[in-house]
Amino acid sequence: MKLKARLLLVEDDSYIATLLAAHLGQGGLSVMSARSIESAGRQLEQHDFHLVLLDLGLPDGDGKDLIRSIRRTSDTPIIVISARQQEQEKVQCLDLGADDYLAKPFGMDELMARVRVALRHASVMQLRERQVRVGELLVDLQQEKVSLAGAEVHLTRIESRLLLLLAQVPGRVVTHRQLLQEVWGPEYIDHTHYLRIHMGRLRGKIETEPANPRYVRTEPGVGYRLSEN
Ligand code: CA
**Terminal Cα-to-Cα distance of the chain (whole angstroms):** 18
C-alpha 200 – ligand 1 centre gap (Å): 39
Residue 65 lies in a domain: yes
Which of 104, 126, 148 terminates a domain? The answer is 126
Q: Does residue 79 sit in the same domain as residue 148?
A: no
Q: Does residue 97 sit in the same domain as residue 143?
A: no
User: What is the torsion angle, in degrees rounded to the nearest 10, for the CA atoms of residue 163, residue 164, residue 170 and residue 173?
Assistant: -60
C-alpha 180 – ligand 1 centre gap (Å): 32
C-alpha 59 – ligand 1 centre gap (Å): 7
Listing DSSP states for 14-57 in one string gives: HHHHHHHHHHHHHTT-EEEEESSHHHHHHHHHHS--SEEEE-SE
Give every CB contact of residue 119 below 8 A, 6+ residues apart in sequence. 1, 5, 50, 51, 77
Closest CA to 7 of 80, 78, 94, 62: 78
Residues 180 and 194 sit within 8 Å (Cβ to Cβ): yes
Pairing of strands 137-140, 145-148: antiparallel
Give every CB contact of residue 110 below 8 A, 6+ residues apart in sequence. 102
C-alpha 102 – ligand 1 centre gap (Å): 14
Query: Residue 214: which domain range?
Result: 131-226
Question: What is the C-alpha separation between 174 and 70, in angstroms, rounded?
Answer: 19
Which of 126, 154, 182 terminates a domain? The answer is 126
**What is the pLDDT at residue 129?**
60
Q: Does residue 77 sit in the same domain as residue 11?
A: yes
C-alpha 141 – ligand 1 centre gap (Å): 39
C-alpha 84 – ligand 1 centre gap (Å): 10
C-alpha 228 – ligand 1 centre gap (Å): 30
Question: What is the C-alpha separation between 169 and 148, in angstroms, rounded?
Answer: 19
- Number of compact structural domains in the chain: 2
Q: pLDDT tens digits, the chain, 229 residues: what are they?
A: 345 789 999 999 999 999 999 999 998 899 999 999 999 999 999 988 999 999 999 999 999 999 999 998 888 999 999 998 888 999 999 999 999 999 999 999 999 999 988 888 776 555 556 888 999 999 998 889 999 999 999 999 999 999 999 998 888 899 999 999 999 999 999 999 999 999 999 999 999 999 999 999 999 999 999 997 6
Q: How far is CA 41 from CA 54, 57, 97, 160, 167, in A?
A: 12, 16, 17, 39, 31
Question: What is the C-alpha separation between 87 and 141, in angstroms, rounded?
Answer: 30
Q: Does residue 110 sit in the same domain as residue 14?
A: yes
Q: Does residue 159 sit in the same domain as residue 211?
A: yes
Closest CA to 67 of 103, 32, 101: 101
